[in-house]
Structure 1
Amino acid sequence: MSKLDTLQTVLVSVFGEKIQHLKSQFGEITIQVAPADYLVVATALRDHPELAFEQLIDLCGLDYSGYNNGDYSGKRFAVSTHLLSVKNNWRLRLKVFCAEDDFPRVDALTPIWNSANWFEREAFDLFGIIFEGHDDLRRILTDYGFIGHPMRKDFPTMGNVEMRYDAEQKRVVYQPVTIEPREITPRIIRENNYGGI
């Protein structure tokens, strides 16, 4: 039995019906759980002696609104967490979809793995996912006055305002865009005798 098969067997025996979906592909296992089970499953993944996922190595938000060329009807926002067990030398991806699309939220994993702190702040900043129980959920990459969440699929790619640092006010200020938008079309220049042809 391979290490991946062993991990899959342990996951199924420990969580059973709490696993909504389990996929083993490309040498990795991904399990999906319901938002109500997210915190309980994460805690067990860390504390169960046969699993022992001591480290959270990554956490990111996902926006599925344009998934499968827009032919997708499931929940819009998800959180994908990558875990590592140093003791057992295996990795796991834990995925949860937010219950609501209008106000996406899931439980914070910072009480379980403090390394989730900045990852959850980033997912909040870029996707607008609220992590309930996070004690310092604020923007981390965009300015505090920034409006919107730039990694959402419906975020406009062309803005109407720009920001700059104002030395007199000693802060970042927003102002209308000062450059004219233009379409850049590449020119192809060919000489008649280029390359000896």
Structure 2
Amino acid sequence: RPEFALYQIVDDDRWHANHQWVVGEIGELIQDGTKDDSWAFPEEHSTVAQEIIFRILDKLKKEDEDEDEIRDPVTDALNSVFGKTLTALIYLALRIARLGKQKGEDKEVRWSDDLKRRYEDAFKGEVVEAYTLFGQYMPNLHYLDKQWVEEKIKEFEKIDNDPLWSAFMYGYLFINGLHKDLYLMMKNHYLKALSLSLEGER
């Protein structure tokens, strides 16, 4: 009804978008254009999408996020600007890898050094969403770069920052199904989780 629409326009704060909302929507747009090949944008736009992702990551700072909202790491990664942008990066990398496979390319490392470097930068900047999404998309990232993922699993055993490690585990435990090869490599992380759980009960 027209009067209902007018009421929404006048009174609904959702109409007042800020820069974070706009940037987040760009991340979601790139996700939508890369996650399903039947609905993906043409291959020639991949370079532009990558450039947009890199520019967003260059400008984003951790303090840009709303730290007042306390959620679980998976929900944060789903809704935050960092999370949406890094998810777009992963989807783009997977899209490029699938296109390469269609052309008969067979590589051990299926994503570019540039994409990997940007994800590494997020780790170095202690962006929580980077750790959550690494856990959540571990099977996909393992497909892109087996050695890198296996090295990170071992490296994360030494993480002193418990919130970062917890975010990683939250993401990993969100995976649907059991991936035996990854499960075996995660043994020490399971042991750490059990140890922390037992300590918390004391």
TM over 0.5: no
TM-score by length of 1: 0.31
Please identify the structure whose Cα radius of gyration is greater: 1
More strand by share: 1
More helix by share: 2
